[in-house]
Amino acid sequence: MKVLILTEKPFATKAIDSIKQIISNASMEAVILEKYTDKYQVLNAVEDVDAIIIRSDLMTNEILDAAKKLKIVVRAGSGVDNVDLVAASVRNIVVMNTPGQNANAVAELAIGMMIYASRNFYDGSNGTELKGKKLGIHAYGNVGRNVAKIAKGFEMDIYAYDSFCPAEIIEKDGIKAFTSVEELYRTCQYISLHIPCTPETEYSINHNFFTKMLPRAILINTARKEVINEEDLINWMENSPEVRYITDIMPNNDKKLREKFSKRYFSTPKKMGAQTTEANNNAGIAAANQIINFLLNGNTQFQVN
């Protein structure tokens, strides 16, 4: 059987070696398509494969349709908003993710972004410290939990809200839980976003949230660009001269934001939350093992469709 590693943004070499080893130990063949530039390369590569490992790579209806032998797609990471789950289900293709495997990498970046913003983008001027500041974690999943764990070391005053995670669970970790998301935005100077992109969350961070935020609020987005209503974001930054937006997912309005708010806005050029050797290794190895376990033993743990 053939397993395709399909990553426009390549895994670290160490991770690729480990993935290939796992696949060949199971007497399967590993093939790789990295840094591709158009969908025809992808359509061609998926034609005869049984399994695919992806990152943020798109698995559209067209691509799934071209993959006539495909049985399983594993997203080496957590968000599956890049996969057409309905189209996969219609074709009996199992889709899995590897939850938690890159959570520490993303959490470390989120904290790094908080420091970067607090120290005025390292421009040499007087900044502020994280110690004692109120941090609001929006969604207390794998990444949110890791952010909380690291922020404790910085002695931040930590709050969280998660519509799916009961307050008692959050409080067990010594984190204050809010039962309304508005309260989180109203209370905390630092807001770190960790919500997935779903039809419910798309563009959900909008005027309603921005107008509740503190005058010196810092919004950190290591989740997805699609959860932000960019028009409302721009209005908020125009009307609140001290707020900041730092993101790991370049907004559609990046150019405009850079021109208007060069001292208060920053985006990484390419999503890099999970761009560490450790995260690539963890997620890549998990993805390869999940594929083998499914193809050889029918194990469907981590199936999302």
Applying CB under 6 A, the residues found at the interface with ligand 3PG are 9, 55-56, 77-79, 102, 271, 273-274
| Min CB(231)–ligand 3PG separation in Å | 24
Query: 128, 106, 105: which is closest to 116 by C-alpha?
Result: 128
Beta carbon nearer to ligand 3PG, 189 or 222: 222
Beta carbon nearer to ligand 3PG, 54 or 156: 54
| Min CB(97)–ligand 3PG separation in Å | 7
Buried b (16+ CB within 10 A) or exposed e, 31-44: ebbeeeeeeeebee
Beta carbon nearer to ligand 3PG, 156 or 274: 274
Q: How far is CA 169 from CA 139, 144, 164, 187, 282, in A?
A: 13, 13, 11, 21, 26
Closest CB to ligand 3PG: residue number:
77
| Min CB(103)–ligand 3PG separation in Å | 8
What is the rounded CA–CA span in Å between residue 168 and residue 174?
10
| Min CB(43)–ligand 3PG separation in Å | 20
Beta carbon nearer to ligand 3PG, 53 or 213: 53
What is the rounded CA–CA span in Å between residue 31 and residue 9?
16
Query: 38, 70, 33, 37: which is closest to 55 by C-alpha?
Result: 33
Count of CB atoms situated within 10 Å of the CB of 107 = 25
Beta carbon nearer to ligand 3PG, 9 or 176: 9
| Min CB(125)–ligand 3PG separation in Å | 32
